[in-house]
Amino acid sequence: RLCGALDGAPAVLLLRTRDLFSLPFPLSRPVVTSLTIQASVRGWRLLLVPWSFPLTAQSPLSPHGQWKTRESQARRHRALMAELGVKLELLPDGGRRWHGCSKDTPRCFGTVHSQTPQYLLSGRWTPPCCLRALRATARHVLAQLEAAGVRHWLEGGSLLGAVRLGDIIPWDYDVDVGLYRDDVPKCRWLAQVAATGRPVEDPEGFWWEKAAEGDFYRVHYSRTNRLHVDLWPFYARPDGVMTKDTWLGHPQDVEFPESLLQPPASVAFAGVTARAPRDPRAFLELKFGPGVVENP
């Protein structure tokens, strides 16, 4: 039969030399696990033949020896996952094993240059652990704003992801939320940051601060992990146009009529129901151009 992986199984692998050395990590150990993971990415499958190979007889290991063997295998496995850049394993029993970032570690990519994170330059999308952190931060921030009575809505690419997918766009690296500037004092964490200018860590470990780039706020997954939600304070001009005090030069970062916000709509986003402008499609087409929902 055909198989996608032989994790830890005794096996003899027969393959062409040119195929072996066409893989990016041809001789990484444990070899069988390494090769089958890389082969699966290319759509290769292993043909299991109905012959067996005798194993060399070995003396049974002591309990301590068995523990050392398990620990050694686990270390090699973790090292292999790091070398291959694997952040999440989906296990045969339906469980998950994470190898990526957490609240206690930095995020998986460095500084974003020209709106381009490092993983995109490597031909990859957002690591699943980073998406997990972004979703958790977004859910937390949206719940805090809702509980405080702050008028808010999904902005920019985050609203676009919600309308297209009900989730964060798979290659995005942050979440954008707009809110009314007059409502900032209603949220205890934003009020503290606004009053003191210093960051605040809430009881769940999320880090609220004033952004260094301008007059807006940022909520990080943790003090260490800087995956974040940006909170943009808007206010209405006398002519009914919503504006703000900081513009970062993004093409979609433009003023818009307040009438597009009220009454608010709801959209699915990152596992919760989030507030959105009255007509999400019209709002997005004003910001990004006609047909943006259907044409990434």
C-alpha span between 102 and 106 (Å, rounded):
7
Identity of the residue numbered 204: E
- Per-domain residue ranges of the chain: 2-53+61-86, 128-288
> Quick one: pLDDT band at residue 3, thresholds 50, 70, 90?
low
Identity of the residue numbered 222: S
In this predicted model, what pLDDT tens digit does every residue of 82-120 receive, in sequence order? 999 899 988 888 899 999 999 999 999 988 888 899 899
Q: With 70 as the cut, is the pLDDT of residue 173 above it?
A: yes
pTM comes to: 0.85
Backbone angles phi, psi at 141, to 5 degrees: -65, -45
pLDDT of residue 4: 57
Fold for domain 128-288? Answer: Beta Polymerase; domain 2 (3.30.460)
C-alpha span between 65 and 69 (Å, rounded):
6
Element (H, E) at 38: helix 31-41
Q: With 80 as the cut, is the pLDDT of residue 55 above it?
A: no
In this predicted model, what pLDDT tens digit does every residue of 152-169 receive, in sequence order? 999 999 999 999 999 999
DSSP letter assigned to residue 55: P
What's the mean pLDDT in 186-195?
Answer: 97
Structure tokens at 274: 């989030």
Residue labelled with tokens 């032989």: 6
